[in-house]
Structure 1
Amino acid sequence: MNESSLVRSGRRAVWDCHAHLVFVTKYRRGAFTGPILTDCEQIMRKVCGDFGCELREFNGEDDHVHLLIDFPATVQLSKLVNSLKGVSSRHLRRDHAEHLSRYLWGGHLWSRSYYCGTAGGAPLSVIAEYVKSQRRPA
């Protein structure tokens, strides 16, 4: 993959934004199976597309999922996260109700918390030095 192809642009912004997201099931219940994770990936890929984002990588274990997302500078990550969790919860609980009802209750699939880390680009120390080195007018 050509790294320069990751830089995208719109009418008023140029960006290279990536986020690593982790969602865990409510009470860390080990509720996921391979087919459920496959469905979860398809659902989350569609939600990302609706936001103008790209789901680059997806994987998970029985109690959590990891996502690597490219997103436009215009997207609020908190709104994307809410949509990813809400839409996937509704669809997975509907399509896998019999299995998931053994592990989860009260209509909740995901824990309210999540992890979000920005990814890619130069280390913070390099960026900080670059910002410091700018020629500030007197």
Structure 2
Amino acid sequence: MQLGDCVLKPRKSSHSVFSVHLHLVFVTHYRRKVLTKEMIVRLGEMLEQVAKKLDCFILEFNGEPDHVHILLDLHPKNAISTVVACLKSSTARMLKKEFPQEVKKYYWGKVSFWSGSYYVASTGGATIEKLKEYIKNQEGGK
């Protein structure tokens, strides 16, 4: 499922030009298969809303009953851990509110919706080897 405007060109702020793309994976608590197709669609909308408030963009999103994958265009004013915390806490709260019956089948009391851990990897168009080669071949380089 593709969401939002695809921001693949570098973006600009007052003092920087940046292109920071991250692959994030969030897993449900205890890896319970709680996410329905309807919840995944709504979750994509929620993620877009929260990301926009952080000057970030969701480039791609999809999921399965026990985890979701997010391709995020990150604004460097944000710490990755802060963005992850905002995305997870906001969506957990909204999913519990909008899908109480589905969530209560798996979680009750103060059990969190998402696992405390997450996966993150930087992504880009060039491999590490290509970047090393490019930097090495700059004038004055080794």
- TM-score w.r.t. the length of structure 2 is 0.88
Identity rate, percent: 34
Q: Deviations over 1:73-115 (max 9, x none)?
A: 2221111100000000001011111111111233310000001
Point out where structure 1 has 5 or more consecutive residues left out of the alignment.
none
* In structure 1, C-alpha distance between the alignment counterparts of 2:134 and 2:81, rounded to whole Å: 29
Structure 1 partner of 2:39: 36
Deviates more, 1:110-119 or 1:66-75: 66-75
Establish whether residue 111 from structure 1 lines up as the match of residue 115 from structure 2. Answer: yes
2:29 aligned to 23, 26, 30, which one?
26
* In structure 2, C-alpha distance between the alignment counterparts of 1:29 and 1:5, rounded to whole Å: 34
**Equivalences, count:** 135
Point out where structure 2 has 5 or more consecutive residues left out of the alignment.
1-6
Q: Secondary structure at the match of 1:22?
A: strand
* In structure 2, C-alpha distance between the alignment counterparts of 1:129 and 1:58, rounded to whole Å: 32
* In structure 1, C-alpha distance between the alignment counterparts of 2:30 and 2:117, rounded to whole Å: 11
Structure 1 partner of 2:86: 83
Structure 2 CA distance for partners of 1:101 and 1:71, relative to 1, 3 Å: same
After superposition, the CA RMSD in angstroms is: 1.8
Letter in 2 for 1:124: I
